[in-house]
Amino acid sequence: MISRLPLDQQLAHLRTVLSRNGVLTEVLARTATLRLPGWYVTAGCLFQTVWNVVTDRPPTHGIKDYDVFYFDADDLSWEAEDEVIGAGRAIFADLPAEVELRNEARVHLWYEEKFRAACPPYDSTEAAIDSFAATTCCLGVRVESDGRWRVYAPHGLSDVFNLVVRPNPVLAPQSVYQAKTARWQEQWPELTVLDWPATNPPSSGG
């Protein structure tokens, strides 16, 4: 089990597995050239690549898109984010995948309208990754200027490699978790999807 490996070996194993996905390695390399503040490639393209390799599927199987998060609190305008999106569209144009770039400093401006839940402003890209609907999704990777991979994995890597999806009820509503896991189980029926925690009713007192 990967959890029994020393941390440096876990990270080396993760890099080896993710490198099987040539689209992902291109997204990482090309995003690095944009020099975005606090950026990570994150979410499904990472853990789903692991699922594919673990279950002997093609590395890109079932991956809808490649998410790139960055954090620029100095300019919260849509125009600034759209400029970054346009730059990304140009450098990713020849890749056989959709790459989505989002400024996580802006999420609180639109999240409630989309998901019917208030989102406090994030103070970093890592804080945004922390709020994914499943802890298994809380994973980010970027390439540093010296070529090293920086990995953010606040919940570790065991669930990712063991095909366990665990809810993370800190922001996203239960409906989002259920919709995502239902789609994932269609693509990867080997998954073990844990139930959303029950909400205890408030005590009526004495």
Tens of pLDDT along 122-134? 999 999 999 999 9
Say how many CA atoms lie within 13 Å of 72 toward its Cβ: 19
Rounded distance between C-alpha atoms, residue 104 and residue 116, angstroms? 18
Tens of pLDDT along 51-107? 999 999 999 999 999 999 999 999 999 999 999 999 999 999 999 999 999 999 999
Q: What is the structure's pLDDT at 37?
A: 97
Mean pLDDT value across residues 33-44: 97
Q: Which is nearest to 41 in space by CA: 133, 152, 148?
A: 152
Question: Which neighbouring-strand residues pair with 101?
Answer: 68
Rounded distance between C-alpha atoms, residue 183 and residue 180, angstroms? 5
Q: Is 193 helix (H, G, I), strand (E, B) or coil?
A: strand
Rounded distance between C-alpha atoms, residue 199 and residue 117, angstroms? 17
Q: What is the pTM of this model?
A: 0.92
Q: Is 142 helix (H, G, I), strand (E, B) or coil?
A: strand
Inter-residue contact 62 to 186 (CB < 8 Å): no
Tens of pLDDT along 22-37? 999 999 999 999 999 9
Region of 56 please: left (phi>0), alpha (psi -120 to 50) or beta: left
Would you tell me the crossing angle of helices 22-34 and 78-91 to the nearest 10 degrees?
A: 130
Sequence spans of domains, the chain: 2-193
Is residue 201 predicted with pLDDT exceeding 50? no
Give the tokens for residue 24: 């992902």
Is residue 143 predicted with pLDDT exceeding 50? yes
